[in-house]
Structure 1
Amino acid sequence: MSDLPAAVLLDMDGLLVDTEPLWTIAEHEAAARLGREFTPEMKQAMIGHGIDTAVPIMLEMLGAPAAEEPATAEFLLRRSAELFREPGAIIPQPGAPELLGVLTAAGVPTALVSSSFRSLVDPVVALLGARHFTVTVAGDEVERRKPHPDPYLAATRLLGVDPAACVVLEDSLTGAAAGVAAGCVTVLVPSMPIPAGQDLPPVQARVANLHEVDLALLAGLVRRSDAT
Structure 2
Amino acid sequence: MSFKPVTHVLFDMDGLLLNTEDLYTIGFQKVASRYGKEFTFSLKCKIMGQQSKEFASIIINELDLPLTVDEFLTEIRKVFNDLFPQCRIMPGVEKLIYHLHRNNIPMGLATSSSIESYELKAGRHQKLFDLLPFKTWGTSDPQVKNGKPSPDIFFVAANKFPDKPVNEKCLVFEDSINGVKAAVAAGMQVVMVPDPRLDRSLATEATLILDSMEEFQPELFGLPPFGNY
Q: TM-score normalised by the shorter chain: which range applies?
A: 0.7 to 0.9
In the alignment, what sits opposite 2:137? 138
Cα pair 2:15 2:22 within 8 Å, conserved:
no
1:193 aligns with 2:197: yes
Mapping 1:1-228, distance limit 5 Å: 5-65=6-66, 68-85=68-85, 89-126=86-123, 127=125, 129-140=128-139, 141=141, 142-159=144-161, 160-195=164-199, 198-219=201-222
Structure 1 residues 50 and 69, CA, compared in 2 at 3 Å: closer, same or farther? same
Cα pair 2:8 2:105 within 8 Å, conserved:
yes
CA offset at residue 104 of structure 1? 0.6
Q: Distance in 2 between matches of 1:38 and 1:172?
A: 17
Please tell me the root mean square deviation across aligned C-alpha atoms, in Å.
2.1
Q: Distance in 2 between matches of 1:201 and 1:78?
A: 37
Cα shift readout 1:128-156 (whole Å, capped 9, x = no counterpart): 52331021111221221111111111111
Can you give the 5+ residue segments of structure 1 that lack an aligned partner in the other structure?
221-228
Q: Which has the higher helix share?
A: 1
Q: How many residues align?
A: 213
In the alignment, what sits opposite 2:227? none
SS in 1 for 2:130: helix
CA offset at residue 92 of structure 1? 0.7
**Percent identical:** 27
SS in 1 for 2:108: strand
Structure 1 residues 184 and 92, CA, compared in 2 at 3 Å: closer, same or farther? same
CA offset at residue 201 of structure 1? 4.9
CA offset at residue 35 of structure 1? 4.2
Query: For residue 211 of structure 1, what is the amino acid of its counterpart?
Result: E
Q: Distance in 2 between matches of 1:104 and 1:123?
A: 24
Structure 1 residues 185 and 37, CA, compared in 2 at 3 Å: closer, same or farther? closer
CA offset at residue 79 of structure 1? 2.6
Q: Distance in 2 between matches of 1:17 and 1:200?
A: 21
Query: For residue 203 of structure 1, what is the amino acid of its counterpart?
Result: A
Cα shift readout 1:61-87 (whole Å, capped 9, x = no counterpart): 21235x5222112322343233212xx
Query: For residue 33 of structure 2, what is the amino acid of its counterpart?
Result: A
Q: TM-score, normalised by structure 1?
A: 0.84
Q: TM-score, normalised by structure 2?
A: 0.84
Q: Distance in 2 between matches of 1:203 and 1:168?
A: 10
